[in-house]
Amino acid sequence: MPELPEVEVTRRSFADGIEGAVIAGAWQGKPLRWPLGAPLEVLTARTVQAVRRRGKYLLLHLDQGVLLIHLGMSGSLLFGRHLPPPGAHDHFDLHTSGGTLRLHDPRRFGAVVWADSLADPRARKLLERLGAEPLDADFDLPAFHAALRQRRAAIKSVLLAGDVVVGAGNIYACEALFLARIHPATPAARLSWQRAQRLHAAIRQVLQQAIELGGSSLRDFSSAAGESGHFQLNTSVYGRAGQPCHVCASAIRQMRQGQRSTYFCARCQHF
């Protein structure tokens, strides 16, 4: 599933090309996870003013209204001036004076939703429960620690839930917990100020590194420019079960948490 780094990499790969462009029209194929919420014609002649991100949502701010795009489990965007005709797994095209933005999604869990503004109930329903943005300057350590102290679930599960902090998907949660030396099954409420501080810094470091490396292409992720990510080639624990820890040389372990695979070093990471 594309996570925050992949979505941010995607945003950066087409934002400059589409900002300021005028929409000539749109095409929609098979139904996606949620309906668009308006006739396609409402997009025609609108200008794309900015492309921003909130959590795993891409926000195309128009001169009237906003398009919220989610990549779902297997989606990706492609942007270019001369794209081929839509294929079987292409489900939405936005034709603009700068090029065509296309949503490709084999599993159709992605979505494109139109709203009058971010205050529109349709946008609020999708965005209002999202946690803090970990790469923003206002990712507040005291608030982060206070939120963790209210949660009894395992810290890995809390990170994946996305209502305390967004973006720490499975691969990045494993990596951040290793960097912070915290066992993934530790109850979040047990984290001291010092351990929460380490985790706060580790989340930011891991996500920033992932963005710099183009995200993770575990299956078929690529940016809107068609470029694959390389973070998966630099992991410390994720996907390395049975291999030696880079720090202590003991074998990396794997366990299941909430139907997701968790990777960790039992010697380096503590309850």
**128 classed as catalytic:** no
Closest to 139 in 3D by CA, of 157, 164, 156 = 164
Kindly give the pairing relationship between strand 66-70 and strand 57-62.
Answer: antiparallel
CB contact at 8 A, 135 and 208: yes
Q: What is the pTM of this model?
A: 0.94
pLDDT in tens, the chain (271 residues): 789 999 999 999 999 999 999 999 999 999 999 999 999 999 999 999 999 999 999 999 999 999 999 999 889 999 999 999 999 999 999 999 999 999 999 999 999 999 999 999 999 999 999 999 999 998 999 999 999 999 999 999 999 999 999 999 999 999 999 999 999 999 999 999 999 999 999 999 999 999 999 998 666 677 888 888 888 889 999 999 999 999 999 999 999 998 899 999 999 999 9
Point out the catalytic residue in the list 11, 53, 56, 122: 56
Whole-angstrom distance, CA of residue 67 vs CA of residue 73: 19
**260 classed as catalytic:** yes
Residue burial 204-228, b: 16+ Cβ < 10 Å; e: rest = bebbeebbebbbbbbeebbbbbeee
Whole-angstrom distance, CA of residue 258 vs CA of residue 235: 21
- Domain annotation for the chain: domains and CATH numbers: 4-127 (3.20.190.10), 141-264 (1.10.8.50)
The helix (run of H) or strand (run of E) holding residue 51 is strand 48-54
CB contact at 8 A, 243 and 263: no
Q: What percent of the chain has pLDDT above 70? A: 99
Point out the catalytic residue in the list 3, 6, 8, 175: 3
Per the prediction, the chain carries an average pLDDT of 95
**253 classed as catalytic:** no
**8 classed as catalytic:** no
Region of 45 on the Ramachandran plot (φ > 0 left; ψ -120 to 50 alpha; else beta): left
The whole-number pLDDT of residue 222 equals 78
